[in-house]
Structure formats: structure tokens, C-alpha cells
Amino acid sequence: MAQHSNYWSCTPFADWLRGTKKLGFGTSEEWDSWTTTAQMKHNFRYWLAEEALGHIQDFVTAPVRAIHSVKYYINNRWVTRSHSLTAHPRDIKPGSWRDVGNRFLPCLFNELVNFVEIETAWSHIAWGNKEDCAKYAAPFYATGWWRWRTWRCPQAGLDHLDWAMSLTNEEWLEEGEKHKATATSQALAAKEIKELYLWWTETYRNRPDAMDASGWTAHCEAMRVKYPGNFFSSLNSKDKEDKKASDKAHKLLRKIEAAYEKEDEAMMIRLIKIRESLWTRYGITY
């Protein structure tokens, strides 16, 4: 069956037709148990609600979904370019060269930023109440049929992650076990996503330039002043103080660059490990 934004098999009518109320949420074991119980209670009615109703919905909504498919092909191909990983012009200037290994960090984290600020932000207003969503002043093309996947709202994305981070399994526990509630896998993933997002948008962006922090920039400028018009001769200077300052700054420069590289690699590994959690219902056509 095709994907829909809302499934007829999850409506009150489907519950009546099935003779068994559908779960709102649950673990895989709970869903297996519910399915078995519902089929055993009314096998034919279960088929009507879960299978027949879905095929009827596919047939009835086919014309609208065809229009949506064309719209989203255009969107996926030329607007969001969901077939590729892209870097923000701030990180890789269009037309400039960047070795493959140096594209990974900006491309991966730029996509994470888009995920939080566009997809997750959309999820927050799509499933939130009107009062909560009004504060984000989302334009008409942010939701509904006219949605064009270009609305960006960092705060809405972060607010959604904060909500997800508060989720626990309390509702699945017996009354006397509520105090044992723990964070859900969704909550843990949201926490990791937020930490990685903030690292890229704040920590990484505000890291001191390695050349400045090491004193190498200041040393080079001092050498230009001391040896005007002949900077390279300063590198072979016989002056012990010049050489000592050069070696010290260069050693610290390598140390800082190595630390930055180690941090970048660790963050990319963390991002790769949560890749299965980077999804929303954002791409559903109808």
C-alpha cells in the first residue's frame, strides 16, 4: 500500500469495523500481542479494517497522490535535493575545490542542520496544537498541501527535540512501577541529535582559529615586519629567538590541529551511529 499522512485503518470507524480498538503506541511485543488478539477475536473484521480499508483508501486517493507525486518529485529533485549530501556555501564555497575526505564533515553536519531546522521543525508544528505553533509564525507553505519544504525554524526544531527528550516509558508500566520509568530510545536519540547539532552550530563555529590560538599568525606577522619583503628568509633566520618562537608556535599549531581533527572525527562517528534515528514523516506524499 502507498504512504498516507493519515491512515483510515487508524480511525474510530476502523476501530468499530475491527471490533478492537487500535493501540496508540507500544513496543514491538505489545503490537504483536495486540495483532494476535484482534485477529483471534474477529479475524474477518480485522482484515476489513487493516487490509480492505487500506486498499479502498489507495484507490480513492490515487488522483490526489498522483498530483502530490509530481510536486514532490520536483521538490526532491531541485529544492531539497534529497538524492545528495550538500555543503552550505559558508563551509564549501561553490566552485572551489575540496578533497573528498574534507567534504565529509561539512556535508554530514549541514544535512543534520537541515534535519533539525526543517524536518524536525515541521514535525513540531505538524503535530502540535494551533496555540503552540502560532509562536513560530510559520508561513502558509510550511504545512498542508502547499508545503514546499523550504521553511526553516531552528527554535521549532530544538523545541521538538526537547519534547522528545522528555519521553519515558511510564505509560507502559503498571501503576506501582511508574517510579521505574526510564527515557525511551526516541528520547535518547533526540538528546544525541541536539548535542551534535549544538556542537556544529555553536562549539565548532566558535572554535578559535588554530593559527591564531597557537601564536603562529602573530609570529608570521612579526617576521614580516622584521624582514620586510623577504619573509621566507625569516624561516631560515640564524636568530635564536626567532627560531625558538617559530618552533614553539608551530609545535602548538600542530597540537591544536590534531585536537580539532580528533574532535571532528569523534563527532562524525557519533553522527553515523544515530543515522537510523534521523527520519521523520516529512517525506510522506499524501
Read off the pLDDT of residues 139-171 as tens digits, 9 standing for 90 and up: 877 876 667 678 999 999 999 999 999 999 888
Residue 128 confidence (pLDDT) above 90: no
Domain assignment of residue 229, yes or no: no
| Cα pseudo-dihedral 11, 12, 15, 16, rounded to 10 | -140
Residue 233 confidence (pLDDT) above 70: no
CA 281, CA 284: separation in Å to the nearest integer?
A: 6
**Helix (H), strand (E) at residue 131:** helix 130-134
Domain assignment of residue 147, yes or no: no
Domain assignment of residue 118, yes or no: no
Strand-pairing partners, residue 183, are: 168
Residue 129 confidence (pLDDT) above 70: yes
Confidence of residue 283 (pLDDT cuts 50, 70, 90): low
- Position 112 scores a pLDDT of 97
Residue 62 confidence (pLDDT) above 80: yes
Integer angstrom CA distances of residue 270 from 94, 145, 174, 218, 244: 28, 35, 34, 35, 39
CA 128, CA 282: separation in Å to the nearest integer?
A: 15
Q: Residue 165 CB: number of other CB atoms within 10 A?
A: 18
Read off the pLDDT of residues 1-18 as tens digits, 9 standing for 90 and up: 456 667 888 899 999 999
Integer angstrom CA distances of residue 249 from 58, 212, 227, 253, 268: 67, 10, 18, 6, 29
- Position 1 scores a pLDDT of 47
Domain housing 15: 1-60
Domain assignment of residue 102, yes or no: no
- Position 63 scores a pLDDT of 86
Strand segments, DSSP code E, in 56-105 are: none
Domain assignment of residue 242, yes or no: no
- pTM here is 0.76
- Position 69 scores a pLDDT of 77
Number of separate domains in the chain:
1
Domain assignment of residue 65, yes or no: no
Read off the pLDDT of residues 174-209 as tens digits, 9 standing for 90 and up: 888 888 889 999 999 999 999 999 999 999 999 999
Q: Is 130 exposed, middle or buried (0-12, 13-18, 19+ CB in 10 A)?
A: exposed
Domain assignment of residue 31, yes or no: yes
Domain assignment of residue 23, yes or no: yes
